[in-house]
Chain A
Amino acid sequence: MKAELSIDIHHLTRVEGHGNVVVRVEDGKIKEARWDVVETPRFFEVMLKGKHYTTAGILTARICGICSIGHCLASLRATEHAFGVEIPETARKLRMLAKHGETLQSHYLHILFLAAPDFLGLPSVLPLLETKPEIVALAAKLKNLGNRICDAVAGRTTHPVSLQVGGVALMPERKVLEGLRQDLASSLEGIKAVADIVKTFELPDFTRETEFVSLKGEKEYPFIGGRLVSTDGVDRAEADYREMTNEYVTDANTSKWCKLSRQSFTVGALARLNLNFGRLHVEARRLATDFGLAPVNHNPFMNNVAQLIECVHCTYESMRIIDELLGQAPGPIMADVRPRAGRGVGAVEVPRGILYHEYEYDKDGRIERANCVIPTTQNNANIHLDLASLAEKFHALGKEKLELLCAMLVRSYDPCISCSVH
């Protein structure tokens, strides 16, 4: 067999945004293996200049159609830090519930609609409408539950409306929360069915040791704010996020790249799991054990499994939060907000990893300078280096199989490419 092949994936499918994969093997040697982000830049950091603080969360939600709630929450947190605003406890719970709703809809979308077809030998889920409609119905039902949580708490699933600087604008009706509580409990059966499907997936046997970065959970599995940690022992305060991200510009990419202790690092569900395993709900840990997933796991394809494990965690946590909300008088949901000059940082674990927003405000509450660092931006260098290792290990399988493996590798990161360029 001639040890020569060339892969050129233009605008990879079943991912958010536009990215290309190029691999060239000559004489059995990897000559080139590249991940290029070619998405058009939108210049959000520039658009934000001069904008009023009430606009920031609404505008930056539009950075991403899938994790708009995460962007909004990071934006609000940055602004609240700049103004020294402490949000009420009930608002904190409601925001976390919206966050879980988004994580559920995004993870189910990725696992079942974007990643699963590769493992089932299909171009998309659409053929399943005829062959296995019950799987499509299950996927739709689970994703819908995540979306309904977002609708109830954030007023809308994509581009939230009720999440505002100082807290939340609305308390969901009691009967809506009760309905969600009931449906979350019955969705546990559905998650089991999904786990059974995922157990049939043959995850490629591939590892490349890397550094993982996430928020650190002090009392609970982390989603909103806290210290920033890595598996190489880095530990920083939220406000010092730039020391974790170290963004730089490359020639071939419209998205920036990042590095920390090594040439690359990873954020996302697998990173969160690797760094906070003990904080997962006991049932989520049980499922991890079923899949043989224990920290620190260096197989990027395991991110698919890590997302499923987080779905279990987020389902139980959502039920707990709803029980707390139903079991007490609602209390205030909005703090008093007074703009002041200053800088604030907000770090939030969105479905694809840790997201940072940073704003500098003038005394009237208008933005003078903004910076947003996106999870996929932080993953780009790691995807790039993984591709070379993957090609090294599997090029003997031939062009067709390697091309599929490369596409599956990138999809495992669940990249949010237009978000990474913003």
Chain B
Amino acid sequence: MQYLGIELKKPRIAVFDFTSCEGCELQLANKEETLPDFLRAIEIVRFREVSSEERDDYEIAVIEGAVTRADEVDRLEKIRNRAAVVVALGSCACFGGVNKLKNAFDLPAANREVYGDKPKETLPARPIRKVVPVDLEIPGCPVSKAEVERLIQHVALDVPFQLPAYPVCGECKQRFTVCMIQKGHLCLGPVTRAGCNAPCPAGGIGCWGCRGPSRDVNLPGFRDAAARLGYGEAEIDERLNLFGGFEGTR
């Protein structure tokens, strides 16, 4: 297959799921208008959710999910050793995602509450970069398939791949979505990294920050602005903490 006269490198890809909802993997099977092209541009050698083929000769390992158990650490290390490129797919893999909310609770007590006297093994949730080196990250809950396609163009054709540095606000302007903050909503758009095409404000709610902070984010300024709209600290923090991307951001 050729693109602009250049022979495509058909990368051998494996997709793995860790602690997650598997919704980001599902996005790989979405955007159906380009799905056959997408599938022809790559060679899928392992993708448990959609194929019974299980090979280990992959160059690129795409990882969905956070790490929350010891066996996941072993599995991730083995994958890292085999793969030339490791891609973190989605907010759980990039930041820990909603899984990290449990870290704020006493885990033995949480275990007793859910499982009674038969507790299950669990560790505080971590993003995969806290366990192995990661080469590329696509945040989002879920990821945008368009961004995944750009990543495939990057590995197959060396087209540069870069996440937008600017915040979601730019994308609301681009699609003529009326500003949610002007309407009085709490919206993390001004501090969240763009690249999702701003579906939440377009869908009638504020941004929830699933892609984490944009570059040079001014969080104190944002907090002041949100407080002026009447939102309390607890509400702002609940929103900032939901997907784990703002941890450690001031």
Interface of A with B (CB < 8 Å)? 11, 13-18, 40-43, 45-47, 49, 51-52, 55, 58-59, 62-66, 68, 109, 113-114, 117, 123-126, 129, 133, 136-137, 140-141, 143-144, 147, 154-162, 164, 168-170, 249-251, 254, 407, 418-419
Contact = CB atoms under 8 A, between A and B. Distances in A.
Contacts of A159: 23, 141-142
Nearest to B143: A158
Interface string B44-55: 100111111110
Given A143-B32, A170-B203, 10 more contacts: A16-B22, A41-B68, A58-B208, A65-B21, A123-B53, A140-B32, A144-B32, A156-B199, A157-B30, A159-B23
Contact of A17 (B22, B27, B53, B102): B22
Contacts of B29: 109, 113, 143
Contact of B51 (A49, A126, A147, A156): A126
Contacts of B114: 41, 43, 45-46
Q: Which 9 A-B pairs have the closest CB atoms?
A: A65-B23, A155-B203, A169-B204, A124-B51, A161-B203, A144-B32, A140-B32, A65-B21, A47-B101
Contacts of B48: 11, 13-14
Contact of A161 (B24, B102, B205): B205
Nearest to B40: A129
A125 B101 CA distance: 37
Contacts of A42: 19, 68, 98-99, 102
A316 B116 CA distance: 45
Contacts of B120: 41, 254
B105 interface: yes
B7 interface: no
B243 to A, nearest CB: 9
Nearest to A65: B23
Given A40-B72, A46-B105, A62 B21 contact: yes
Contacts of B25: 65
A407 to B, nearest CB: 8
Contact of B98 (A59, A136, A144): A59
User: Most A CB atoms within 10 A — which of B27, B33, B54, B114?
Assistant: B114
Given A42-B68, A140-B32, A250 B118 contact: yes
A158 B26 contact: yes
Contacts of A18: 17
B23 A161 contact: no
Interface in B8-66: 17-27, 29-30, 32-33, 35-36, 39-40, 44, 47-54
Contact of B32 (A41, A51, A141, A164): A141
19 contacts: A13-B54, A40-B19, A41-B115, A42-B99, A42-B102, A46-B105, A52-B235, A62-B98, A124-B47, A124-B53, A136-B36, A143-B29, A147-B30, A155-B200, A155-B202, A158-B26, A158-B30, A159-B141, A418-B19
Contact of B39 (A13, A109, A126, A162): A126
Nearest to A369: B113
B22 A140 contact: no
A334 B242 CA distance: 25
B129 interface: no
B162 interface: no
B247 interface: no
A127 to B, nearest CB: 9
Nearest to A113: B50
